[in-house]
Structure formats: C-alpha cells, structure tokens
A = this chain, B = another copy of it.
Amino acid sequence: MFEHRSTFRVRYGETDRMGYMYHGRYAELFEVGRVEALRALGIRYLELEERGVLLPVREMHIVYHAPARYDDALTVITRVVSMPNVRMLFTYEVRNEREDLLTEAEVTLVFIQAATGKPCRAPAWVIEKLGPYLR
C-alpha cells in the first residue's frame, strides 16, 4: 500500500449557509490528494498528460460522516491499495485536527490515450514507481 497525507484549511468560499464545507467541494480535495500522492512517488500528473495520457475520473463514492467547518485544518489521507491496470483506484479518509473521521471516499480513474480517446493500460513508468509499495 502507498499512503500520502495532504493538509487543507477550509476556505470561506468552500463553506455553505449551514456553515459546512459544501459536499461538492470534497472532489477537489481528493484531486489534490492524489496529485500530491503521485508527486511524492515521482509521478507528475502534468507529465502524464504531456506524454499523451489522460486520467479522467470514472467513478466517485463519498460517505460524509461529519461536517468540516470554516478554518478547520483537514488532513486528506490518500491510499493506493492495488496496482493500476486500465483503471486506478484511490481511497481516502478526511480527518480534522481532533482526528475525527469526517469523510471516506473511493475514486476510480481510467487511463485514456489523448490521441484516440481510448482506454489504455497504465504506462510502464507509472507501474514502476508503484512497484516498491504494491505487488
């Protein structure tokens, strides 16, 4: 398993009139979580695109246990638990400063060749970076 932690401060613009972080804004935290997890592995997402591979989201499942609130310092724990093939699965936990579990999520992305728009296998150089953590 590969695990990465990113921290976020809830922005005013992310809150709603309930005083909660708007549920739709978590997708962006998860995006940053996986981009930073990949960067920590030596995989720059931008390089993936420059090499002709896109990685759009295919499926997202979020369970909201408790709300995040304005100015909360959140930790997003991003995990890669299985070797990607055509798809790549990330699992997430969001915790606040008291370590309360606020949110859990699974996001599945699919590798796509930019030139053809067709699904493709994860590039060898991506697989290689993940090798030490997954079998």
Contacts and interface: CB of A to CB of B under 8 A. Distances in A.
A67 B56 contact: yes
A110 B86 CA distance: 36
Contact of A17 (B19, B28, B61): B19
A64 B56 contact: yes
Q: Is the interface of A mostly helix, strand, loop or mixed?
A: mixed
Contacts of A60: 23, 60-62, 64
Which bracket fits the contact residues of A? 35 or more
A71 B46 contact: yes
Interface of A: 9, 11-13, 15-20, 22-28, 31-32, 35, 44-46, 54, 56-64, 67, 70-71
Given A17-B18, A17-B70, A18-B56, 16 more contacts: A9-B32, A12-B31, A13-B25, A13-B27, A15-B16, A15-B17, A17-B17, A23-B60, A24-B26, A24-B27, A24-B31, A45-B71, A56-B64, A57-B64, A58-B64, A59-B61
